[in-house]
Copies of this chain bind each other. A is one copy, B any other.
Amino acid sequence: MAGLQRRALLGAAGLLTVGLPLGLVPQAAAAAGSPFEAADLEHARALRERGLADRTAPSLVRELCEGIGARPAGSPEEAKARAWALQVLAALGLENVRAETFPLRIWQRGPAAARLTAPAARPLVMAALGNSVATPAGGLDAEVAWYPSLAALQAEAADPARSQANGRIVFIDERTPRTRDGRGYGNAVLARINGPVEAARRGAVALALRSIGTSGQPVAHTGATRYDLSVPRIPAFAVSVPDAEFIAARHAAGETLKMHLDLQARSGVDATSANVIAEWRGTDLAHEIVLISAHLDTWDVGQGAEDNGAGVAIASAAAALIASGGRRARRTIRLVLFGNEENGFDGALNYGNRYKDVPHQLVGESDFGAGRLYAVRSRVAPAALPVIDAMAEVLAPLGITQPESGRNQGNPAPDASVLMRRHRWPAIALSQDGSRYFDVHHTANDTLETLDTSGLPQNAAAWAVTAWLAAQSPVTFGPPPL
């Protein structure tokens, strides 16, 4: 609490700088022993204030959603999004703008339908999970084995002879609580990821689940699931929350539920994706990289507005703010728009393989929609923490605090996490308010119409400050504690 108060005061001090001519900005931070030069902090504050007034991010997300739309990895639309990004990032004044391609094998959705056939006929609003295998031609019919959660399924012996799942369609009614930080999703999504394997271990013929989301609207959630070589691959899909409520009520009434599922899909289709890269070159430490990122691909539903058009817009606008600010930092600031985050992290893995020997000062990613930032958490060498504190002081007027809990245990968004963990690169997590994110995430509702873009400038401002100060830091951030 004391720490929060300290930062709040500094935040208030920061606010006083708004509107003052640059030459008159109080040099309090430098005087108080900041690791940064006064002019560096002054530049960071100016980035922050310009960022808050900048409309680049709202404009970019509109172009991406309305001009390209859904852009699953390996699709013509993802390629179109790359072409757009290359053009836009060069026009925004960034350097070394390029696409780095990689081959991948993709999953493609086909027609699919599911319905309850007992105790009552009810067509279900459904979506196949990414990577789901198809049903046999003509579909399959089976009784439903209902579980309140993945844990309840796992509590049964992993033996068909001893599980009620055997020969049935397992239904997991895992609920997704609404939370600011997304932890509700973090727990619930395990049912989507591990449900098919756990169900197949117990003899199930298919896996169905309540959509991993917080909306009561009649939409179904998609997203990646996975299989395990040790058990049969069974078809997997999610149903809408209203349908899940109906199923739960009927189960609670002691009724026997039966379902018909017809799901078509293709796996292992050869395709190409790429990471789009743009830079703002550094000075004396230009070979070191400060990486800010988002992912260009989306699921094949909606328009990918929250996930991750918003992040593409935020990270791109942040890089553009830095470039238009004119002043170079010591290290190179690199924007990466990853390909195929959604179904395999191929972009992050390819990037890591390609640049594994290049020193990375920091990796970060915006991939939690368009909600406002409220927290910053690092994952850096302890010696670098004073630099993080100094960055946090510049972020404080944006309403961003550095929580005492989980200090220096930040977990960045997925691509950046992959890089942090595989390469032990330092990382920063800027936390957005995700209270409404899972109302639309991975559904047909993730469109520009449902997107609140008012928080995008605050996000872009914060990423610009963070990247520029990390690039200018007198201290190396690695190696982080993992």
Contacts and interface: CB of A to CB of B under 8 A. Distances in A.
A303 B120 CA distance: 9
Contacts of A355: none
B301 A123 contact: yes
A444 interface: yes
A449 interface: yes
Contacts of A447: 122, 242, 246
A278 to B, nearest CB: 23
Nearest to A67: B120
Interface stretch (A69-77, A326-334, A417-425, A453-461): A69-77
B111 A449 contact: no
Given A69-B116, A111-B111, A121 B77 contact: yes
Contacts of A449: 242, 245-246
Contacts of A29: none
A446 B264 CA distance: 27
A113 B111 contact: yes
A420 B34 CA distance: 88
B120 A66 contact: yes
Nearest to A116: B69
Contacts of A113: 111
A416 interface: no
Contacts of A240: 444
A68 interface: yes
B120 A69 contact: yes
Contacts of A300: 123
B68 A123 contact: no
Interface in A117-131: 119-123, 125
Interface in A77-108: 77
Nearest to A249: B66
A269 to B, nearest CB: 17
Contacts of A112: 111
A123 B444 contact: yes
Interface string A219-260: 100000000000000000000101001100110000000000
Interface string A280-302: 00000000000000000000111
Nearest to A300: B123
